[in-house]
Chains A and B, each alone.
Chain A
Amino acid sequence: MGPYEFDLWVFMLAAYLGFQLIRGVSPLLHTPLMSLTNAISAIAVVGAILITGEKDASTLSLILGFSAVLLATLNVVSGYLITDRMLKMFKRREPEKK
């Protein structure tokens, strides 16, 4: 099995897993879900690091890679923080106030 065929299997299974997992998410939390998956997809930062950090990277690679690391980091940081900020607001009935 070539590497690409293997990759396709991984993709297929991960997509199926994704469908199953997302269907279990309460509609109550669809907005936090979206900002969380958004932060997760900023995993593209991995590719950006590899491009930016490699030996003898061309100027073009450096510029593109640098921008990509910046954009992805922005998404990671703000994505996780906003998700948490939203989730903190979801409370059950508060204890009776006087």
Chain B
Amino acid sequence: MNNAVLNDTILPLLYMLAAMGFILAIKWLGSPATARRGVIVGEIGMLLAVVGTLLRFEVVNYQWIFVAFFLGTAIGIPIAYIMPMTAVPQRTAFSHACGALASALIGTAEYYKAMNQGPHATTVEMTALIVETLLGFLTFTASLMAFGKLQEVLPQRPITYKGQNFVNLGIFAAAAGIGLALIVSPEQTFLFPIFTALALTFGVLLIIPIGGADMPTVIALLNSYAGLSASAMGFVLNNKMLIVAGALDGSSGFILAIIMCRAMNRSFSNVLFGAFGQLQTSAAQAGDRPYRSAAAEEAAQILESARNVVIIPGYGMAVAQAQHKLREMFDILTKRGVNVEFAIHPVAGRMPGHMNVLLAEADVPYDKLREMDDINPEMPNCDVALIIGANDVVNPMAETDPKSPIAGMPIIQAYKARTVMVIKRSMNPGFAGIDNDLYYMPNTIMLFGDAKAFVSSLVKELGALARA
């Protein structure tokens, strides 16, 4: 009974080591110094888990498994290396879709297997199975929708209609109701396809009313669901390692979603059911307020004579691909003894932490990337706050105007700097259509132009000043 010994003693130990690997992986990812070690230990954990499963005596047919390994690897490697860093949010949404679908398909297979062997699934097994497939299928379509919005093959604007929340909740209630019926009487196999269809539909409808600006929260939340689905699979298979790995993923996504919501001063229900980004199109467009603008030459002189410069990038910077030029400017100023730092708002970018990755890719040292809460107390000492492609995250109306749609949202307090410079195409309000008082302040200078082109001319002017 060599095989049974292997199954009962050694393989569970491999699973336990794998779970430890995952825990250490997240622990070490906590800081940049140890992060890459974290990835390695995570990979080892995954290897142990896969080997530990392949060696189980129930597993006898290997050919399809290895074909799938091969295909998955062959598709996965090019995705990982070719994809540009601006596309990381889409890739993440896509992989949530893959992970959730995998988990849902396994749940489906488990269900039909249990039914073929004579319907004897226990209530506990069925509950776990229904949770697994419900979360799996709805996360699958929801992630595909999120992918479509991020990739801009679907409209970014929220799509709303009357009674939408009612319809959505109705479909979810129907899915949950049929799920419950399946738990009570699993042998009603005709219910399972209906259940699947409802879960898939709900996933689509859930994302339709959510705007592009809310994608960071949505991605984090879907991350959480995909993890919970894997954890539920652990209950079905009575596998502790799956439960642990899924729970880690579930809590991670959940925390990130909370952080994103806090950074926008909004609640989960408001993000999911609030259809943000539609209401403010009528917001007052105080067209004729006076403002000051300047050319690159003047701006370069101000930057050059500053001691502390804080650059506040937003997603517009990434869209314009200005990060590499910005790094050049950073280098010139740093060489001239100017202290240059980057202030990163938690929702800058299209997913949590996205802006940091984009700037790191442009070789900006990470100790110059500062968090909002960390840098705000220092803003009064800042000579120049340079805002590139950001709008709402520096809008002082979030603090001053309780009627503003972004009232209460924590902002980077650029207005406290001695001079504020804003690189912007024109005076048109941004994506959410909210006016920004910052642009009309006496110490604000508007720099009109494309982000990349303007930063390029700043670099040129600064270079000329350096030679003079």
Contacts and interface: CB of A to CB of B under 8 A. Distances in A.
Contacts of A87: 32, 35-36, 39
B238 interface: yes
Contacts of A81: 76-77, 80-81
Contact of B252 (A33, A62, A73, A85): A33
Interface string A1-34: 0011001001100111111011111111111111
A58 B351 contact: no
A80 B54 CA distance: 21
A7 B36 contact: no
Contacts of B227: 37, 41
A78 B255 contact: no
Contacts of B246: 41, 43
A21 B248 contact: yes
B99 A11 contact: no
Main secondary structure of the interface of A (DSSP, over half): helix
A94 B239 CA distance: 46
Interface residues of B, number: 112
A64 B360 contact: no
A50 B98 contact: no
Given A38-B226, A46-B241, A64-B109, A75 B64 contact: no
A39 B75 CA distance: 15
Contacts of B220: 34
A11 B230 CA distance: 12
Nearest to B360: A89
Nearest to A96: B335
15 contacts: A11-B247, A18-B26, A27-B344, A38-B223, A40-B249, A41-B227, A46-B242, A47-B110, A54-B58, A61-B109, A62-B64, A70-B68, A74-B95, A75-B98, A94-B363
B353 A31 contact: yes
Nearest to A39: B42
Interface residues of A, number: 82
A44 B103 contact: yes
Interface stretch (B83-91, B419-427, B438-446): B83-91
Contacts of B31: 26, 29
B233 interface: yes
Nearest to A83: B39
A34 B223 contact: yes
Interface of A: 3-4, 7, 10-11, 14-19, 21-55, 57-58, 60-62, 64-94
A83 B354 CA distance: 13
Given A47-B233, A82-B80, A71 B60 contact: no
Interface of B: 18, 22-23, 25-27, 29-32, 35-36, 38-39, 42-43, 45-46, 49-50, 53-54, 56, 58-62, 64-65, 67-69, 71-73, 75-77, 79-81, 83, 85, 88, 91-92, 95-96, 98-99, 101-103, 105-106, 108-110, 112-113, 116, 124, 219-220, 223, 226-227, 229-231, 233-253, 255-256, 259, 344, 346, 351-354, 356-357, 360-361, 363, 365-369, 371
Given A7-B238, A33-B352, A77-B73, 4 more contacts: A71-B105, A73-B68, A75-B95, A92-B367
A45 to B, nearest CB: 6
A50 B240 CA distance: 15
Contacts of B91: 35, 78, 82
Contacts of A82: 79-80, 83, 88, 91
A33 to B, nearest CB: 6
A61 B73 CA distance: 22
Nearest to A49: B53
A84 B39 CA distance: 7
A37 B235 contact: no
A48 B106 contact: yes
B64 A34 contact: no
B75 A25 contact: no
A79 to B, nearest CB: 6
A49 B54 contact: yes
A21 B237 contact: no
Nearest to B19: A14
A15 B251 contact: yes
A84 B60 CA distance: 34
Given A18-B26, A31-B353, A26 B32 contact: yes
A10 B71 CA distance: 34
A44 to B, nearest CB: 5
B22 to A, nearest CB: 5
Q: Which 8 pairs across A and B sit closest by C-beta, in order of nearness?
A: A73-B72, A30-B353, A18-B251, A77-B76, A81-B80, A53-B59, A69-B68, A14-B247
Q: Which of B53, B76, B83, B365 is most buried by chain A, counting CB atoms within 10 A of its CB?
A: B76
Contacts of A47: 103, 106, 110, 233, 236-237, 239, 242
Given A14-B247, A28-B356, A45-B50, A37 B32 contact: no
A40 B248 contact: yes
A40 B245 contact: yes
Contacts of B367: 92-93
A23 B26 CA distance: 10
